[in-house]
Amino acid sequence: MKTQISLNRINDAVNFKATNSKGQSMLMDGSASLGGINNGVSPMEALLMALAGCSAIDVVMILNKMKQKIDDLKIDVTADVKKVDDYKEYSHIHMRFHLKGEIKEAKLQKAIEMSIEKYCSVAKTLEKTSEISFEYTLNNEN
Amino acid sequence: MKTQISLNRINDAVNFKATNSKGQSMLMDGSASLGGINNGVSPMEALLMALAGCSAIDVVMILNKMKQKIDDLKIDVTADVKKVDDYKEYSHIHMRFHLKGEIKEAKLQKAIEMSIEKYCSVAKTLEKTSEISFEYTLNNEN
């Protein structure tokens, strides 16, 4: 199986539009580090977004299978950036899951663990570079 | 230094909006694998977009420093998906750079190599999982 995307420059600065095979796109730029205009996410932010999206999909699917009712899901991701030679990497990524609904806490914990440790392809890729940790709130309670 | 993003569920299916600290966002979903509606990029596609964006920024900056004039830049990325246990990974990622402008070929080759081997943080992260290769065209010629 193959996955394909394309990226096009959209102006004279470092602004780009990335598009998948179905035409869905995202805007990306590197202006944050250049002091220029900034109308897209940075590539390193996109890595964290990929992780959150991947894990969110898993958690929703696993909780659905467990017959739990999700009213809301939010994930905040914070990552520590470390300079290595001429590039940067995330030394540590912390994910805060915030769920609302008729969900048993033990099942939520299990669903998140299964995603991060077993199913989430993005987590399995990023864990080679970054320690990944998580916490959660359920109906606004820790 | 820290990087932060948030992800919110936007409907009852697995559709999500991820937002950075400046409010720029992308839509992501996992419906491609679920046969549902599909209005965003998949998390694994987002990894490839991050790679293309990262490398595009580098190549533009390096070529600018080398006083080369870029009229257009496009990158097509194709990745081989390999199933490992319960998740997937990219065994190989191939990037095709298409540039137009007053650019010396040796400088283009050098700029791409410097990005992928040295500067691009996303490439340095993904290379732990995936072999990354590239080719390029310059003014529509190989």
SS3 A141: strand
* Residue B105 or residue A40, greater confidence: B105
Domain A43-138: top CATH class: alpha beta
Give the pLDDT score at A40: 84
Residue A41 CB contacts under 8 Å (≥ 6 apart), including other chains: A26, A27, A28, A29, A49, B5, B18, B20, B24, B25, B26
What is the average pLDDT across B52-56? 96
Angstroms from A115 CA to nearest CA on chain B? 10
What is the average pLDDT across B65-80? 97
Residues 91-110 of B with CB under 8 A from A: none
pLDDT in tens, A26-54: 999 875 555 455 678 999 999 999 999 99
pLDDT in tens, A67-121: 999 999 999 999 999 999 999 999 999 999 999 999 999 999 999 999 999 999 9
Least confident of A56-70, A125-139, B30-44: B30-44
* Residue in A34, A49, A60 nearest the CB of B14: A60
Cα A55 from Cα B7, distance rounded (Å): 10
> In this model, does residue B35 exceed pLDDT 90?
no
Report yes or no: A137 at the B interface, CB cutoff 8 Å: no
Enter the ipTM: 0.94
Give the pLDDT score at B75: 98
Are B98 and B76 within 8 A, CB to CB? Answer: yes
Are B29 and B40 within 8 A, CB to CB? Answer: yes
Give the pLDDT score at B9: 92
Residues 28-57 of B with CB under 8 A from A: 28-30, 32, 34, 38-54, 56-57
Partners of A34 on chain B (C-beta within 8 Å) are 61
Give the pLDDT score at B38: 67
The single-letter DSSP state of residue A140 is: T
Cα B100 from Cα B141, distance rounded (Å): 10
SS3 A56: helix
Task: Read off the tokens for B70.
Answer: 């870029």
pLDDT band at B94 (very low <50, low <70, confident <90, very high): very high
Enumerate the CATH 3.30.300.20 domain ranges in chain A, comma separated. Answer: 43-138
pLDDT band at B22 (very low <50, low <70, confident <90, very high): confident
Query: Chain A to chain B, count of Cβ pairs less than 8 Å apart?
Result: 255
Task: Read off the tokens for B88.
Answer: 């997937």
Give the pLDDT score at A125: 98
Q: Do A7 and B77 touch (CB under 8 A)?
A: yes
Q: What phi and psi values does residue B128 have, to the nearest 5 degrees?
A: -70, -20
* Residue in A14, A25, A126 nearest the CB of B61: A14
Give the pLDDT score at B30: 75
Q: From the candidates A22, A42, A83, which should be mutated to test the interface with B, based on the most B CB atoms within 10 A?
A: A42
> In this model, does residue B34 exceed pLDDT 70?
no
